[in-house]
Amino acid sequence: MCPPILRRLFRRLAPLAAGLLALLVAQPAPAVAAPAAAGLVQVTGFGSNPGNLQMFAYTPDGLAAGAPLVVALHGCTQSASAYYSSSGWPKYADLWGFDVVFPQTTSANNALSCFGWFDQAESTRGRGEAASVVQMVEYAKQTYGSDGRRIYVTGLSAGGGMTADLLAAYPDVFAGGSVASGLPAQCATSQAAASGCQTGPQKLSPAQWGDKVRASYPGWTGPWPRVAIWQGTSDYTVYPANATALRDQWTDVWGIGQTPSSTRSLPGGTTRSVYADAAGRPAVETFSVAGMGHGLPVSPGPGTEQCGATAAYFLNTICSAYHTGLFWGLDQDGPGGEQGLPAPTGLKVTGVTSGGASLAWNAVEGAASYAVYRDGAKVATTATTSFADTGLAPGTTYRWTVAAVGSSGTAGVTSSPVTATTSGGTAPARCFTATNYAHVTAGRAHTAGGHAYANGSEQDMGLYNVFLTHTLRESPAGHFVIADSGCQA
């Protein structure tokens, strides 16, 4: 999105900022935006509204109480209606069954209709816009019957920065979040620091970034939200260094380190890196979209994995709503399920071939069947405690989980995952030439002590910056070695 120029600073420094803003913005959103898209309804009287926000909601017809809730925050110069029309979230609300709330700020709050992620009077617990968003959540719980255990928040750019702040300030409210082209929680706590965060956040250690989260709700001892991070490698509005800082921040909060548990290529030039918790469940996932600029990844089309519409700051690459929804488990039933069935234990891979893998697990009392998920997507339902997954690519790493399904068809708690790599020596290696910074952002390397190290081989690539370039060869999947003298794929 455009740089989030703050309302008082913008008014004072408008002559200096006008040249830059002219390159990025045509007109700010109107002070009051009536929803143009059918199905989006404005809600009034949702609370005292200390942040002076507007609430819009999409509630699928016939949705029963107890469904999840997604809160979706637009970027600067956008509106709730634009986010409803182009983000793709309503499609999955219909498909998987959940409500969506679209908070809206206006030029009355900020000259460019940016959420105040940079202003502690707006972005901290119990204050301003952050408090207004939580009032919308409470309204949804009371009015729609939203499941308080499955509340999620997502946002683009300034909305992404506010998303990170909300996750930090309200871990008791949000089970998960997704930050798209956004900024770390409490990266800027003053007007003067906002632009600096966009172009390059402070050089803090993971522990220092994590401290910003822990300080947002001191004394919190409950579970932390699970966080997805989306970033284009060619974003020159909110620089990719913010995605690295976000990863460092939330992996530190989870206490799981900054080396991914697994990486995988997705459509649209996207690399997904998974950071699993102590139980093996994904706690943080990063999605680096090669060559994408500033915006929300969408992929228009009728397929299950396609969503959204292209528009300003909605970029045709990959459907981020779909993959974020899988990460949160929105395609599955709620925690414990109606039957209260526990997670199957003992899940293991009993064999692999070049095109498949065999799984087995222990039976769950009361289970009518079992749902099998590969990389977060359901691939089968079986009546037995074993399954042969076929049609896989050779030399590729996959992750499986299993859930017991009750007689009503409701899935229970998902098991801890297992991973395995299919066999096959003919799968070609892949070569990547990029700066150390880009390798780290894409999940091929990680940082320690100011240097970049290749994932898998742990070879020292030199200083973590945009000036040093290396070629990395990947073989097997997730294992990288320096191949500057030549790399045959």
Q: Which residue has the tokens 């002076």?
A: 52
Instruction: State the pLDDT at residue 23.
Output: 27
Q: What is the pLDDT averaged over residues 122-141? A: 97
pLDDT tens-digit series, residues 404-439: 888 777 777 778 778 888 887 555 678 888 888 888
Smallest Cα–Cα separation from 202: which of 148, 153, 241? 241
Q: What is the pLDDT averaged over residues 93-104? A: 96
pLDDT bracket for residue 193 (50, 70, 90):
confident
SS3 451: strand
Burial class (CB in 10 A: 0-12, 13-18, 19+), 356: middle
Q: Are 51 and 122 in contact (CB under 8 A)?
A: yes
pLDDT bracket for residue 489 (50, 70, 90):
low
Amino acid identity at 94: D
Among 32-41, 127-136, 272-281, 457-466, where is mean pLDDT lowest? 32-41
Contacts of 15 (CB under 8 A, 6+ apart): none
Sign of the Cα torsion 362, 366, 369, 373 reads negative
Terminal-residue alpha carbon distance, the chain? 37
- CATH topology for the 348-421 domain: Immunoglobulin-like (2.60.40)
% of the chain residues with pLDDT over 70: 89
Q: Can 157 be counted among the known catalytic residues?
A: yes
Strands (E), 299-429: 314-316, 348-352, 356-360, 369-374, 377-382, 386-390, 397-405, 411-414, 418-421
Instruction: State the pLDDT at residue 8.
Output: 34
List the structure tokens of 378: 């359901």
Instruction: State the pLDDT at residue 343.
Output: 80
Domain boundaries 7-328, corresponding CATH code: 3.40.50.1820
Checking if the pLDDT of 225 tops 50, the result is: yes
Average pLDDT over the chain reads: 86
pLDDT bracket for residue 237 (50, 70, 90):
very high
More confident residue, 229 or 425: 229
Smallest Cα–Cα separation from 116: which of 48, 166, 152? 166
Domain boundaries, the chain: 7-328, 348-421, 430-482
Smallest Cα–Cα separation from 368: which of 336, 401, 339? 339
Contacts of 115 (CB under 8 A, 6+ apart): 4, 73, 103, 105, 122, 129, 155, 158, 159, 161, 162
Catalytic residue among 123, 157, 288, 475: 157
% of the chain residues with pLDDT over 90: 60
pLDDT tens-digit series, residues 335-374: 433 335 788 899 999 999 988 999 999 999 888 999 998 8
Q: What is the pLDDT averaged over residues 447-457? A: 84
Instruction: State the pLDDT at residue 333.
Output: 59
Instruction: State the pLDDT at residue 378.
Output: 82
